[in-house]
Every structure is written in structure tokens, then in C-alpha cells.
Structure 1
Amino acid sequence: MSGELIGEFRGKTIGMRIVEILENGMKAESTDHSTGRLLGIDAEDTGTNWQVWRFPDNIHGEGIGVITSKNGEIATYTVSGTGRGTVGSSEAIFHAIMNFRSSTPQWSRLNGSPVMVEYKVDSEDNIHWKLWEWKEKT
């Protein structure tokens, strides 16, 4: 990745449902809960995402979420990306761009800057995701 690692979270998918059956795939929705660090601050995340699965293994997804800290920092985000998954399993990997909104001084520097995300789900619905702040090459 081109940029500075600014966050890492681990957690679990806590809910999933099929939203729509499409001609060559399906649309699903999932909600995750995870804990980790964002810009050096311990944080908790809850996010809801929808994914369009195009068989056999191509996925497009978008989502929304909120990250909070014990000290009251709050950031909301939208995310959009693509990935690959395994049909019949929750295993998947996504690469996406996240856009933050926060009035918290510690996290407001992310406002208006694309944040790159690598998001992995294993076969037991455990999630692990990392965030990189975009850095322009000079």
C-alpha cells in the first residue's frame, strides 16, 4: 500500500441476510463489530455493508459505519470497494476506499482524505481490517 498504516481492527460478523437474488448472483447485507486502534487511539467499530456477489467469486460492496473511543471521539464513514470471495463460505477479501467525517480533533485530519482499506473475513466470520492514509508520491 502507498501510505501510512493508521489503523487496524479485529472482530466478528454479527449478522447477515440475503437482500435480493439477482440474475447472476445475490445481494447480501452484513453487520460487523470490531475493536482496534485508529491514529493511535483505542476504538470500537460497528459497520453495516452490502455486497453484490457476481458468481463465481467477484464481489462489489459498499457500507457505512461509526467508530468511537472510550474518551468520546466519534467518526462516521462510508466505504466502497471490490473483492473476491468463496461461494458457500464467508471467506472474502476486499480492497476499498473509506471516507471519514469527524469533528473530533484527533480524527478530523481524515476528513476529505481517502483512506485505503484491506478487509478480510475468514470461514468463521472473524474479520481483520487495516487502514492506510493516502500519501501522495513526490
Structure 2
Amino acid sequence: MTFRTDVDLERSPAYHWTVTSVDVGPCTDPIGKEIMMLGEQIGEFTGQAISTRVLEDIGLGPRTEVTDHQVGTLCGVQVDITVTYVGTIRPGGTVAGTGTGFVVTASGQTATFTGTGVGRFTAPGHLAWRGALFYETTSDELSSLNGIAVLFEYEVADGKSEGRLSEWK
């Protein structure tokens, strides 16, 4: 569900604005119909980390590079995916991640992607990731990925991953 935030503002004598209350609820159009920002789910995968390296701290925080191999469906097609991403632990304990990867369909067609996201630790060795992917392909089977943003939700636990992808409308 997507949420909206209504903010009530009050102007002080010095013409500064002050937030006096915040109301959070579902996003709605002008006639009150709920608006969903996510489109349909377009992919689902399970995977396994096949490589992990600790990288030099370049002043941003501890960094790890992970390569993950995944299998599942994307746009209704069986696929294998390989992705390498770098996660940097930030102050406050979240993890900033960027990565690149490629997709191979059962018929040998391919797509490449880049992505960025944020992870949070849910338990020791467990991360919940949320972010966006951007694909490029000449594949007929995966051509619907061109020109759209794809949102991901991944759960990683002890080297195993599960993920879902949705089109962002």
C-alpha cells in the first residue's frame, strides 16, 4: 500500500512555517480512489551468494562486495541472473548498495541491469533490501523492461536470497 502525508502548516509572525500536525493515510485520487504506485509483480527469484569479498574502507564505511546467482522468472520467462553489488555500512547501521548484473533466458536471450538500494539488518547475517533496477536489452522476451524503473524487495539470510520485482508506474 502507498501512503500519503498531509501536513498542516502554521505561519509564525516572522513568516516562517511550522508543522502543527501530520496525517498519514493511503494515497487517493481527487475522487477518493486509492492509488497504487507499484505495478504488477514482474519477477520472483531465489539465489545463493557465490562470492564475498571485504573491500578497503575508502572513508565511507566498511564495504563488502557480493556476487549472487539467482534463478526464477522475469516477465513470465525462466531466467538465470548473476549480480555483483557493493554494500557500504553507513552510520546508523543501514547499508547503501549499488550493483550491476545480467540476465540469461532459457532461450539464451540476455539483458543487463544496474541498481541501487538500501538494506537494513533484521538479524545477524540477515538483510532486507529495497531499491530500484534499470534494464537494457535487445531481447524480444524481456523488451518490456526497457525504459521502466523496476523496484526490488530482497531478503538475504546467511548467503541465501529471495526477491520480488515490481514495475514502478
TM-score between both structures, scaled by the size of structure 2: 0.73
Instruction: Identify the residue that residue 57 of structure 2 maps to in structure 1.
Output: 21
Counterpart code for 2:150: V
- Asked whether 1:120 is paired with 2:151, we answer no
- The superposition leaves residues 90-121 of structure 1 with CA deviations (integer Å, 9 ceiling, x where unpaired) of 31011111000010112112112100001110
Give the number of equivalent residue pairs: 133
Asked whether the 8 Å contact 2:130–2:152 carries over to 1, the reply is yes
Structure 1: 5+ residue stretches without partners: none
- 1:20-69 CA-to-partner distances (Å, cap 9, x unmatched) read 23657301100000100001101101110001112552110000000101
Distance 1:97 1:37 in 2: 18
* Counterpart-to-counterpart distance in 2, 1:107 and 1:132: 14
- Give the fraction of aligned pairs with identical amino acids, expressed as a percent: 34
Gaps of 5+ in 2: 2-37
Rounded to whole Å, the distance in 2 between the matches of 1:55 and 1:14 is 27
TM-score by length of 1: 0.89
CA RMSD of aligned residues (A): 1.8
Corresponding position: 1:84 with 2:109: no
Structure 1 stretches of 4+ with a deviation exceeding 4 A read none
* Structure 2 counterpart of 1:76, one-letter code: T
| Greater relative contact order (CA < 8 Å, ≥ 6 in sequence) | 1
